[in-house]
Structure 1
């Protein structure tokens, strides 16, 4: 069981590094978008490649940080029943949800996007816009990264559920503990 905890911690570390690194693209998006607006309205000029750039940065950021968002439990969910549920109930819900919905969906995304991405790489696809950016094939590769990072985090969630359901809560890495349990651990005296 300790080995499972180490695997979950490694997966979480990967998603944290990728997520925190690609989150910085948001700053680049703002700078490039601001530059495009200033050029257009103050200097009456525009570069198609710059417009492509902030759209592409946005796509790269959101696909790359999706696993990190899942790690942080930042995805949208109906919490009416989930949030107040006991830890074991949440573990069962996560296990069922990941196995029945998340993993099959990530497999579908991966399977159907792979030929699309391979075709883009085969002819080094660029922007369809005249004067646009080269390297669209690299951006399309982020679809594969999205599927892989989400699926990896799904594996970490499965491991977390197994550890909780087998009574090995102490082996669950802190990075994937449930948020209410993190608060309780940070404030054992109950001052929340």
Structure 2
């Protein structure tokens, strides 16, 4: 639902910017920043949604010929050996950036732009945290089913 709200802000904000710029001859930096902030949040938060919906990118050329059990095992190994380390490193490296952004309550780099860039940068921590939590829950759930 949140991602749909961000998508609406991106669509209508971009539409408003184009109409204002080309029909009225002026634009507002605040709308441009709002579109940029909403797009960044949309991209960051939709990654976790795609993991949850099992719609993330994978090469399905081979998967279609394999059994469901083999595909589950490959997904489990991919989550454990690829996704979990990558998103854990993302979380570890993004935290200092977000912390310093919050310390100064960072705003738009543009003069007269919107404040609150620190909120958007928080998505850099929320994204990997949500994916790591999802993967751990999925891995421990699979282990629990296997051993019970």
**TM-score, normalization: structure 2?**
0.91
What is the Cα deviation at residue 84 of structure 1?
3.3
SS at match of 1:104: helix
Residue in structure 1 matched with residue 126 of structure 2 by the alignment: 145
Q: 1:121 aligns with which of 80, 97, 102?
A: 102
Q: 1:57 aligns with which of 38, 43, 68?
A: 38
CA distance in 2, matches of 1:139, 1:21: 14
CA distance in 1, matches of 2:85, 2:109: 32
Task: Kindly indicate whether the alpha-carbon contact (under 8 Å) linking 1:32 and 1:53 is maintained by their aligned counterparts in 2.
Answer: yes
Task: Kindly indicate whether the alpha-carbon contact (under 8 Å) linking 1:66 and 1:146 is maintained by their aligned counterparts in 2.
Answer: yes
CA distance in 1, matches of 2:52, 2:123: 18
**TM-score, normalization: structure 1?**
0.71
What is the Cα deviation at residue 160 of structure 1?
5.0
Residue in structure 2 matched with residue 106 of structure 1 by the alignment: 87
What is the Cα deviation at residue 21 of structure 1?
2.6
CA distance in 2, matches of 1:146, 1:55: 17
SS at match of 1:129: coil
CA distance in 2, matches of 1:163, 1:84: 27
Alignment of 1:18-167 (within 5 A): 20-159=1-140, 161-162=142-143, 166=146
CA distance in 1, matches of 2:105, 2:5: 26
SS at match of 2:112: coil
SS at match of 1:23: helix
Identify unmatched segments of 5+ residues in structure 2.
Answer: none
CA distance in 1, matches of 2:42, 2:61: 30
CA distance in 1, matches of 2:108, 2:19: 23
Task: Kindly indicate whether the alpha-carbon contact (under 8 Å) linking 1:117 and 1:141 is maintained by their aligned counterparts in 2.
Answer: yes
Identify unmatched segments of 5+ residues in structure 1.
Answer: 1-19, 169-192
CA distance in 2, matches of 1:26, 1:125: 23
